[in-house]
Structure formats: structure tokens, C-alpha cells
Amino acid sequence: MIRILIADDHPLFREGLTRVLNDAPGLSVVASVSNGVEAISRAVEFAVDVVLMDLNMPRMGGVEATYQLRKINSHISILMLTISEDEQDLYAAIRAGARGYLLKSATSSELVDAIQRVYAKEAVLTPSLAAKLFDEFVAISPKSQQTINPGYVEPELEADMLTERELEVLRWVVRGMTNKEIGAQLSLSPHTIKAHIRTILDKLHLHSRAEAAVWASRQEIAQK
């Protein structure tokens, strides 16, 4: 029996989803919560196998909750279940440790299949977003860049390339946090965080948060 926790701030959605999943063979919803803070505590308390995590919730969003929960128990599989088709949300979820990303427009059979697959430690991705993810990582792969352009050299970090504040923002970006979540951590407005990220991208000659996160991971910025 796969033990499931649902984290979503819409009560009717949670209730309907609970009924659907409890009717499916081999699945059992053991807890249902409305925010990321409760998702972390209940997932541990009820020893769940799979968490269905919404992105936008009060107190703590799904991305940060995913990151924190994976630090506590890396064996829990997290499937993001959301309405967002924004690739930046997808990248953030993957970087935080989600094993799957599924839209709420999925059918009940598709959801059941996705739960079974993430439980088996397979990766699950909404087909419409798979191409975006593939294209992004092909674009930022050093080998693919060198194949296309033999003169390509991956940027190296100069000591004065980024300010301390920009490095701090970039570390949170690597963790998959949104502008609002980063702003809360640094006591800055989301608009200010957005401006910092734009400056970071300009300085590094990159085009997206995903590229910046991958670049920072290669440079081990998150560990500095």
C-alpha cells in the first residue's frame, strides 16, 4: 500500500482527490494538509511514501517544502501537482528535489500512474513541459555548446563578478526558491530580487534562472 499525503490549500480539491485515490487499488491517503509547514511535519509523522505537493500555499510554498522535506527524508517521493505550466516553476521544483511534475488537468488514471512511478523512483513529467526541459539543458550543456560552437568557453567566476548580495540571491535560486520566498529570507521585495537576478544573468551572459542555477552548481556557489 502506497501511503500518500496531499498538500494543497483548496479543501474541496483535497477532498475530491482523497476520494479518487482511496478508490484506487494499492493507494491510501493518510494525511491532507493546507500548507508546506504542515506537509513537512505530517509527512514525517505518518511515514508517507509519496507527497502530492501544490506550488503556491500559505506559510510555506511547495518548492521550499520539497527542499526541506528531502533534507529530512530523501526516501519520500514528491510529485508536484499544480496548474502552473511555467518552466521556471518546473526547474525550481526539480532543483528542490521533486521526482515528478504533473498538471492538475491530468486524468485520474494519469495521476494514479504518476504516483506509482514516483514511488518506484521513476521520474514523471507532464509531456507538454518535457520538451522545454530538454531544450533548456541542451542549451546550457558545455559539450553541446562546444559542438555547436568550437570556440565556446563556459564562463568562469571572477572574484568581483558578482557582489556578495548577488551571490546570496544566487544561492537561494539554486535551492529553487521563488522571488517572493527569496525576498522573505533576505527582507527584500520580490521586485528587488527580480532586479538582482536580472543583473546576475547580465553579468554571467546567461538567459534564465535555470541556466544560472546550473552554472552556480558547477561553480559550487551554493556551498560557499
* Full-model pTM: 0.65
What's 99's DSSP letter?
A: S
Mean pLDDT of 175-194: 88
The domain locations on the chain are 2-129, 136-223
Q: Does domain 2-129 have CATH number 3.40.50.2300?
A: yes
Task: Out of 47-51, 138-142, 184-188, give the one with best mean pLDDT.
Answer: 47-51
Helices 164-174 and 209-218 pack at an angle, to 10 degrees, of 100
| Rounded distance between C-alpha atoms, residue 108 and residue 21, angstroms | 8
Mean pLDDT (the chain, rounded): 84
Task: Out of 50-64, 149-163, 193-207, give the one with best mean pLDDT.
Answer: 50-64
| Rounded distance between C-alpha atoms, residue 75 and residue 41, angstroms | 15
Q: Cell numbers at residue 161, please? A: 563578478
**What pLDDT score was predicted for residue 132?**
62
**What pLDDT score was predicted for residue 176?**
72
Give residue 192's identity as a one-letter amino acid code.
T
- Greater model confidence, 86 or 184: 184
Fold of 136-223: Arc Repressor Mutant, subunit A (1.10.10)
